[in-house]
Structure 1
């Protein structure tokens, strides 16, 4: 679907090979009148320590689902970061984006007692600061493609957000973002090759774009030597159990201010039917559970560029050792900062506009801290430096 305001992003041809995204020439600068939105959870590491990582992931993904719903299917670039999300939209959608971010801040606080910060930053200001916002599209399957970012502008925007600049104030009490389609009914996927490794790599000021592109290309080549390129979700999709482990979280997300207990009961019934369909392979109308399972895996977003490289890999020991060697060498030259967090399982948070279409979106992260813990390790390197 073409953007009714600005066809820039919709007209970008999606790339089919992830390794192509290591090339800076594959990215195009967004128009100068666009804005960047960014949101993340304050003290996400503390929330994880309290056992709330599934909630952290859900709130981060909720920012994206709320924006997709608010823009009515309009195509725009976004990226999921584990404990938050970022996006870029035309200036004509700035007011609506501000409303979404304001509602998200209020909802996260009232529903989960989570402090979400958010900012909306003009691309013109980012460029005035010497950074850029460039995007590309990467197609994981015929049904879904994801935005990739380069140019340093997204990282700059996130830093300004954390400093309190360009802040979006919370909406009035009771604000409810539209989170239709957001869910987490799948169980976690266990590592088959060794460990689920969450990796975050960012260039330093000393690294040129070509420096980082060369390293990213080498890391991607190494990871693609893994079974299925390190894809952490089984080909037939993650396991499903009843009752689903995320039932309470789904109830919070979908109750829209209604009674939580009643919503849980309704979801129990709905998920029982879904579980039976997946267990038996029975079709329901045009819904084919076997096809849906395969599409879930194909559509999963387990690696991305967002002014750096993030990957969640089902990784064996020798491959992880090679990745660490490449990272250590680049860090010793002052070219990068990186963080790695290993765990036994991967988790997934989903946005499903329709279960009978192939455009459902699935955000993958490690199940015990993932990108947030890897980023915390990277910050630790910055402090020691």
Structure 2
């Protein structure tokens, strides 16, 4: 029988109204004896410049997929950040988390020549440093929910990781993570209302939770004025084409050390069959392609609280100007830092435990740098008093 602290996240009630998550009272403190896992790609900006952002997204999402598979159905809070990810797990699973991240570091290096840094940090250390780690659950549909984080703990953990603290070594050469269910077969979704805007907003050291909550509520209210709240993925899901645009990446992810060429051939055949089902709207047993595509859009994680606010919006120029003005005012007052990246398409990375269920997870980001470029733009902004 598991300790009640281990079921902390499962016991939280998911919220359906995203705007309520701007209220700090909706977040609950993560148990003191839990640990936080953080990982991100070294020089993700350089990888983007080399045209590898789909690969960057896939490696970031691999952190979450590997942990979900390793924990075998145990629910835990996680968040996708574009070029990395973070999660919180009970102390009883800490060694599993360390092994999983060490394996991912080795795999990213060998499979994609990408340097992934990672760390596992006790929640107690976060609080000893004067930060907190609180979490809430947001359910965009009946099929899936996503964790939201507040308290500054994740940002502190990421900063310590980048400083070289709590660093995890690489696993032995050839070690393979379990990435079953991770894929990227959808094509990008083009903007329908103007542009795809990736937005990252964080409070400054001097901003109170109430001040940042008011700012976040205002930004969410503006985005809610857009059709479908600015959702960048069409109601019927993203476009699907054959051959799929991410075939090479999918082959690297799923080959498990086997032949890359053979895996590509198998994926081409598999994706041709899937493409035909979607194009003909043909059911296969309990699989309904039209329902599945609808759920892909419904389940999409296009906005989140992650020690700040992140959104990927399909946004018209007028609304974008409103958002920018609110953010510039907040920056001038020293209440927030923000970064924004504008592009023409949104992309999706998926984790699908079973196509027969509605619990498939879909991470949305801008297709030409998204959150990573927005975060880089935020770092370049001059500080204001």
- State the TM-score bracket (shorter-chain normalisation): over 0.9
Give the gaps of 5 or more residues in structure 1: none
Question: 1:350 is matched with which residue?
Answer: 350
CA shift for structure 1 position 206: 1.0
Residue in 2 that maps onto 1:61: 61
Q: How does 1:94-113 map to 2 (within 5 A)?
A: 94-113=94-113
Listed as ranges, the matches of 1:142-161 within 5 Å are 142-161=142-161
Counterpart in the other structure of 1:381: 381
Q: Is the 8 A contact 1:34 1:90 kept in 2?
A: yes
Aligned to 1:189: 189
1:133 to 2:136 alignment? no
- Cα distance in 2 for partners of 1:22, 1:209 equals 9
TM (norm. structure 1) is 0.98
- 2:207 is matched with 207
C-alpha distance in 2, partners of 1:8/1:144? 17
Q: In the alignment, which residue of structure 2 is the partner of 1:308? A: 308
Measure, in 2, the Cα distance between the counterparts of 1:261 and 1:371: 32
Deviations 1:342-371 (A, max 9, x none): 000000000000000000000000000000
**Matches for 1:4-153 after TM superposition, within 5 Å:** 6-153=6-153
Q: Hey, which bits of structure 1, 4+ residues long, moved more than 4 A?
A: 2-5, 382-385
Contact 2:332 / 2:384 at 8 angstroms: preserved in 1? no
State the SS of the aligned residue for 1:201: strand
Deviation, 1:5, is 6.8
Separation in structure 2 between the aligned mates of residue 16 and residue 276 of structure 1, nearest angstrom: 34
Is the alpha carbon distance of 1:108 and 1:3 closer, same or farther for their aligned partners in structure 2, counting shifts above 3 Å? farther
Q: Helix, strand or coil for the counterpart of 2:350?
A: strand
C-alpha deviations, 1:38-92, integer Å up to 9, x for none?
Answer: 0000000000000000000000000000000000011000000000000000010
8 Å CA contact 1:5–1:92 kept in 2: the answer is no
Contact 2:15/2:139, CA 8 A, preserved across alignment: yes
Matches within 5 A, 1:294-333: 294-333=294-333
Structural RMSD (CA):
1.2
Per-residue displacement from partner, 1:173-219 (whole Å, max 9, x unpaired)?
00100000000000000000000000000001010000100000000
Does structure 2 retain, via aligned residues, the 8 Å contact 1:42–1:115?
A: yes
* 2:133–2:150 contact (8 Å) kept in structure 1: yes
Distance 1:5 1:104 in 2: 27
Cα contact 2:334–2:384 (8 A) shared by 1: no
State whether residues 206 and 335 of structure 1, in contact with CA within 8 Å, keep that contact through their aligned partners in structure 2. yes
1:335 offset after TM fit, Å?
1.0
Contact 2:119 2:168 in 1 (8 A): yes
Counterpart in 2 of 1:277? 277
Q: Distance in 2 between matches of 1:39 and 1:355?
A: 28
Q: How many residues align?
A: 384
Equivalent position SS for 2:381:
helix
The normalised TM-score by structure 2 is: 0.98
The answer on whether the counterparts of 2:331 and 2:384 sit within 8 Å (CA) in structure 1 is no
**Contact 1:337 1:382 (8 Å CA) reproduced:** no
Quick check: 308-317 or 373-382, which moved more?
Answer: 373-382
Give distance in 1, aligned partners of 2:356 and 2:129.
45
Mapped contact 1:189–1:234 kept (Cα < 8 A): yes
What displacement does 1:7 show?
1.3
